[in-house]
Amino acid sequence: MYAKIYESMYDGSLRKDWKALVVFQQLLVLCDEEGYVDKTAEAISARTTIPLEFIEHGLLELGKPDPESRSNQEEGRRIILINPVRKWGWRIVNYTTYREIKTQDQLRGYWRGKKQEVRAIAKVSDRTTELKNKISELFNRSEADAWSYLELSMLAEVARRENSMMEFDEIIKLKAREPRYFTKSLAKLLEGWNSYLDRSRAPEMPAENKVPSHIQLRVVESQIECHKANPQSTSYDPKHPLPLREELKSLRSRQQGLQRQIAGMPA
């Protein structure tokens, strides 16, 4: 354990009695986190190697009322008995008050953290605004169009990620490349995006696979749904050549791989 010892201790009324001052410092070292020293004078003397008469003198002085004390608690006493029935065991009166006072270094660290927090919030706010503008443009939304609570909540989650803007640029490229497979629902677009954002940006992944897994899966499923070699497709062609069947097989394999990836299963 440790205690804060302030320089002002040497300027107060204790300066008149160096023995009491030394004993008070020892009590600050020996007390628990609430300022209790549950020991006898003999135990304090044995622990600190300070002669017993010094300890007893200091305890007596520290327990007296002090009209010159900076504190008006307990009539200016520095210590009081934990149990008035006993003649030993003391509580340091203002221990918790001084313990909670922040040092200059702590204050500087506190305000430094606050400034970083404010800057981080500002960055997220800027990303949210930029992302919202890009989404509005992508979905042909005007400023007057209302956003649902679900859409705004998911947008906020995405914007908290550092790489969210780069991720959205990839989705814009995806729409330009495969517009007919692109979801028309903003809620579906944002659904699950936050969960797979970091995974889809893993360094070992090829550049073309950096679109989130759930977006890739939706595209692949749409390709399978309308593929000419798929019997369930409205554009099914019974005379489809072998390459088309191989292409459909590859798409189904890709679909299964993405499903396993999203589920967190080994490929």
pLDDT tens per residue, range 153-211: 777 777 776 666 766 666 666 666 656 555 556 666 665 555 555 555 544 444 444 56
Three-state DSSP class for 78? coil
Residues 113 and 198 in one domain: yes
State which of 71, 99, 127 marks the end of a domain: 99
- Domain assignment present for residue 2? The answer is no
- Which pTM does this prediction carry? 0.39
Residues 108 and 94 in one domain: no
State which of 59, 75, 99 marks the end of a domain: 99
Domains held by the chain: number: 2
Residues 231 and 122 in one domain: yes
Residues 194 and 111 in one domain: yes
Residues 230 and 153 in one domain: yes
Poorest-pLDDT segment among 117-126, 192-201, 234-243: 192-201
- Domain assignment present for residue 201? The answer is yes
What is the residue range of 246's domain? 104-262
- Domain assignment present for residue 51? The answer is yes
Torsion of CA 9, 10, 11, 14, to 10 degrees: 80
Token duo for residue 98: 């001084």
What number is the average pLDDT over the span 30-50?
A: 90
Residues 227 and 130 in one domain: yes
Residues 88 and 133 in one domain: no
Q: What's at 240, amino acid-wise?
A: H
Going by C-alpha positions, the residue among 97, 95, 106, 102 that lies closest to residue 3 is: 95
